[in-house]
Amino acid sequence: MNQNEEIKETGTVRLEGTNRNHNIQLITIIGEIEGHETSSSNTKATKYEHLIPKLAEVEDNDEIQGVLIILNTLGGDVEAGLSIAEMIATLSKPTVSLVLGGSHSIGGPLAVSADYSFIVPSGTMIIHPVRSSGMFIGVIQSFKNMERTQDRIVDFIVNHSKISKARLEELMLDPAQLVKDVGTLLEGEEAVKEGIIDEVGGISQALKKLHEMIDGEEITEIYNDIGIK
């Protein structure tokens, strides 16, 4: 697959020949996170079955030194989003995320799954409880399953950011901000102040941070090779 086809089909591209000679994989998570069900043909979607193999390839490719994840998503399939977030969080390569536009709903775990996260000043994050539509069969069991899924999301965000569990749940259940719903909309600086995102910044800051992290990895490897800890 050539570079143009890779961008079109998977939203990914290799950034090679940089001024620091680092080999970086760019991954975009845009639109709806598509899981087991196919999104409407009119909906811009990030496909779970594209990203999982790509992330596995990134981990297994010695040439790739770091990963930049750019997000602009309204959310989508919870299980697919959490699976992608877990894959990113367990990569051994340095990772940096950048929220452009929005990273809503299950986009929250995706934004914090990287080693370091940025959000542009105009970027937004919507934090809300797990929701479901349609008729339930076995209401109590279904509700408990939704509670457990929400706990998984909360635990993931708390374990990969600086926000406390109590504060995150408070933001999730705020009835005052969202029309006909509970939750909280955070803009760029607010997401940083709450401890969800590490820093306000754009593409230049994100790439600079990733280059620094790769340089740090290279220095650590040199020290290890010569027996210095």
- Read off the pLDDT of residues 80-133 as tens digits, 9 standing for 90 and up: 889 999 999 999 999 999 999 889 988 999 999 999 999 999 999 998 887 654
- pLDDT value for 7: 46
Query: CA–CA separation, 211 vs 229, rounded Å?
Result: 22
**CA atoms within 13 Å, Cβ hemisphere of 137:** 0
- More confident site: 156 or 20: 156
CB neighbour list of residue 43: distance below 8 Å, 6 or more residues apart: 31, 32
Asked if 82 and 106 touch (Cβ cutoff 8 Å), the reply is yes
DSSP line for 109-151:
HHHHSSSEEEE-TT-EEEE------S--SSHHHHHHHHHHHHH
- By three-state DSSP, how is residue 54 classified? helix
Q: Which two structure tokens, joined as six digits, stand for 101?
A: 């536009």
Q: Which two structure tokens, joined as six digits, stand for 42?
A: 């009119």
Round the average pLDDT of the chain to a whole number and report it. 81
Percent of the chain with pLDDT over 70: 74
- Rounded to 5 degrees, what are φ and ψ at 30? -130, 140
Query: CA–CA separation, 77 vs 80, rounded Å?
Result: 5
Q: What is the mean pLDDT of residues 60-80?
A: 91
User: Would you tell me how many other CB atoms lie within 10 Å of the CB of residue 204?
Assistant: 8
Q: Which amino acid is at 211?
A: H
Catalytic (active-site) positions = 105, 128
Report the range of poorest mean pLDDT among 88-92, 121-125, 140-144, 200-204: 140-144
Beta-bridged to residue 87, according to DSSP, are none
